[in-house]
Amino acid sequence: MGTAAYIKFIAGYTFSNRIRTGEERLTDLRTIEKCYGAELYELTLISHADKKHRNIIDNYLSPEEIKNHALKRGKWNQNGL
């Protein structure tokens, strides 16, 4: 990523909730593809239970979305994690 693209990314991420949400959800999907879905699921359960995170929860996949995507992609083991 060049300087201009980086500045554009930072500006979009900072000032656009749509871009910020898209980036965070894409990062969650990539995390699942790298076989870290169970860890992401556990962290998401914690963040959803913490009232301090209420203002950012919408930017990320929900625990159900994480588990469903991991199951669909074959990235969830038989023990549930």
Convert the pLDDT of each residue in 46-60 to its tens digit: 998 988 888 788 899
- What are the residue ranges in the chain where pLDDT is below 50? none
pTM confidence score: 0.82
Q: Looking at this protein, which amino acid is placed at residue 12? A: G
Six token digits for residue 67: 């588990």
Residues in the chain: 81
CA torsion angle 50 53 58 62 (round to 10)? -30
